[in-house]
Amino acid sequence: MSIAAKANALWEYANPKKFLATTERMLPFFWVASAICLVVGLVWGFFFTPDDYKQGSTVKIIYLHVPSALMAINCWLMMLATSLVWLVRRHHVSALAARAAAPIGIVMTLIALVTGAIWGQPMWGTWWEWDPRLTSFLILFLFYLGYMALWEAIEDPDTAADLTSVLCLVGSVFALLSRYAVNFWNQGLHQGASVMRAAAVTGTDTEEKVSNIFFYPLLMCIVGFILLFIALVFYRTGTEIRARRIKALLARERVNA
């Protein structure tokens, strides 16, 4: 099959029935795999890794903080991709997928902010600092709130999808800023990337990186969070598709009455 044909086959999933049938077959795998990875990663990290020589036992917070922060940013990028598909191709499933992902993203952002604050108190001596990365993350949280509020505030679903898609484009600046703020401003308390950095993974630079003792369980947790995110997006998009069908059926019923 050529690349063009494969790309065209992908659009078949814009059909709600096809999307529901396919995701319902895949969902059990994603639920089970995410549960296994999360339990193994968290138990491994919490019970079977040593304390850090500088941070003590607070290093164990990394198994929740890093994966949730990663998903907070990537969830918005996924919403950006599906919003663009909606704006360009007008596929309802893509707009509904973006809507379904937002509450997941806001919870991930909240976990990253809360665990960061709890860790920061004993390590930095403060719950909060107006540091570039922390501030851009807080703005990302507010963008998630605004995005969800906009969906609820507009009656017509197509208009809501249009406006939320535009908001998503604007918010993407902060999603990227929250990832690269440390590099742009090179100041503040938050350290640079020490896990998901190409040179840290390949060991080709001398910058500080996470030791393998912590890295492997962390990797397991990251995989678990990604699988959980996919499971939740599939499940919640299915819910949004059904909610939209209810609205359409009720509208048809009113017309026929």
Partner 1 sequence: MMPDLGKYADTVLSAYAASLLLLVALVAFSIWRGRKVRAEMEKVEQRVSRHG
The reply on whether position 103 binds partner 1 by CB under 8 A is yes
- Applying CB under 8 A, among 87, 114, 154, 196 the residue interacting with partner 1 is 114
- Applying CB under 8 A, among 23, 74, 94, 115 the residue interacting with partner 1 is 115
The reply on whether position 134 binds partner 1 by CB under 8 A is no
The reply on whether position 33 binds partner 1 by CB under 8 A is no
User: In whole angstroms, how far apart are CA 211 and each of 49, 51, 179, 191, 200?
Assistant: 11, 12, 21, 15, 10
> Smallest gap, in angstroms, from Cβ of residue 68 to partner 1?
7
What is the rounded distance in angstroms from the CA atom of residue 110 to the CA atom of residue 107? 5
- Applying CB under 8 A, among 8, 56, 126, 145 the residue interacting with partner 1 is 56
The reply on whether position 57 binds partner 1 by CB under 8 A is yes
Q: What are phi and psi of 133, to 5 degrees?
A: -70, -45
The reply on whether position 253 binds partner 1 by CB under 8 A is yes
The contact mask relative to partner 1 for 221-240 (x = CB under 8 A, - = no) is -------x---x--xx-xx-
| Residue from 195, 253, 8, 238 nearest 100 by CA | 238
Q: Which residue has the tokens 């598709």?
A: 241
The reply on whether position 122 binds partner 1 by CB under 8 A is yes
Cβ atoms 106, 149 nearer than 8 A:
no
